[in-house]
Amino acid sequence: MPSRVDRKSKPEATQVNISGIPIGGPEVIIIAGPCAIENREQLFETAKLVHAAGANILRGGAFKPRTSPYSFQGLGEEGLKYLEEASKETGMPVVTEVLDTRQMELVCKYTDIVQIGSRSMHNYPLLKEAGKCMKPVLFKRGMMATVEEYLLAAEYILCEGNQDVILCERGIRTFDNSTRFTLDLSVVPLLKRLTHLPVIVDPSHGTGLSWMVPAMTKAAIAAGADGIMVEVHNKPLDALSDGQQSLYPEDFAQLVKDIEKVAKAIGRKLFHHKQSPV
């Protein structure tokens, strides 16, 4: 068991503070937004709707790790600029993925949280770079990584001096392909026991199916997750990436209400942002 992430080396839970939003404390948090930033209107429309529904943090990819090189790759810096603008407009902090060590400085300039995606979990130079950057890191589990490999990879980030790491289960590959991935909710209590780091769940990539996202979100909160990250699109049918797993804004609004109930049932609360102008 790696030492810096180990709960034995730090029995009290680590809380990562994102502009006044504590992740890993008694309250659960919601990260929502589109898979990819496609244009200004799509991002702003979605951002306003998720904010009004109760999301705490806005997500959106500007550099997309796509299976096919012919698929939409993201808007790059233009997307990061829209993200920063949407953050100012709604008051929500933002998270976006970094794919390459050469993008780290640029991405850090625009974002509050740096995301390292599933496909990059084994990219050790990128992990070291994230460990040196001064931003909190949302660190996703590799789709084929054991818990030990995942925690050793997280250790790389902590070793470089960055303690603000948020773990994120996003589904793993198994023999079954009836869903996009198999959302391994059993790692939530396991990671909470083994480490002091906050643990969130991404039920969108975990299932690949928007109709299944609400059930798995509620299950994740019930299992003890400190928050969820969910894909929402103002027009899922027109999405340039991950449309089938993206919630309609109205379904997201209902989900927030349900999260509130599940959180209450297990003695937690949903973090409420101070109302800011939209």
Cβ distance to ligand PEP smaller for residue 180 or 218: 180
Residue 22, Cβ density class (10 Å: 0-12 exposed, 13-18 middle, ≥19 buried): middle
How far is residue 152's CA from residue 174's CA, in Å, rounded to a whole number?
A: 21
How near is the Cβ of 205 to Mn ion at its closest, in Å?
6
Cβ distance to ligand PEP smaller for residue 156 or 268: 156
Cβ distance to Mn ion smaller for residue 213 or 270: 213
Bridge-based pairing of strands 269-270 and 27-33 is: parallel
Cβ distance to Mn ion smaller for residue 82 or 271: 82
Which of the choices Mn ion, ligand PEP, none does residue 169 contact, using the CB cut-off of 5 to 8 A by kind?
Answer: none
Closest CA to 52 of 272, 278, 255: 278
Total residues binding Mn ion (CB under 5 A): 2
How near is the Cβ of 187 to Mn ion at its closest, in Å?
20
Among 28, 30, 35, 154, binds Mn ion (CB under 5 A): 35
| Residues 223-242 as x/- pattern, contact with Mn ion by CB under 5 A | -------------------x
Rule CB under 6 A: which residues touch ligand PEP?
Answer: 35, 61, 65, 97, 117-119, 140, 170, 202, 205
What is the number of other CB atoms lying within 10 angstroms of the CB of residue 122?
14
What is the number of other CB atoms lying within 10 angstroms of the CB of residue 184?
17
Which of the choices ligand PEP, Mn ion, none does residue 227 contact, using the CB cut-off of 5 to 8 A by kind?
Answer: none
Closest CA to 210 of 245, 171, 170, 252: 245
From its phi and psi, is residue 91 left (phi > 0), alpha (psi between -120 and 50) or beta?
A: left
Distance (Å) of CA 75 to CA 62, 123, 277? 5, 23, 27
Which of the choices ligand PEP, Mn ion, none does residue 117 contact, using the CB cut-off of 5 to 8 A by kind?
Answer: ligand PEP
How near is the Cβ of 143 to ligand PEP at its closest, in Å?
7
Question: What is the contact surface with Mn ion in residues (CB under 5 A)?
Answer: 35, 242
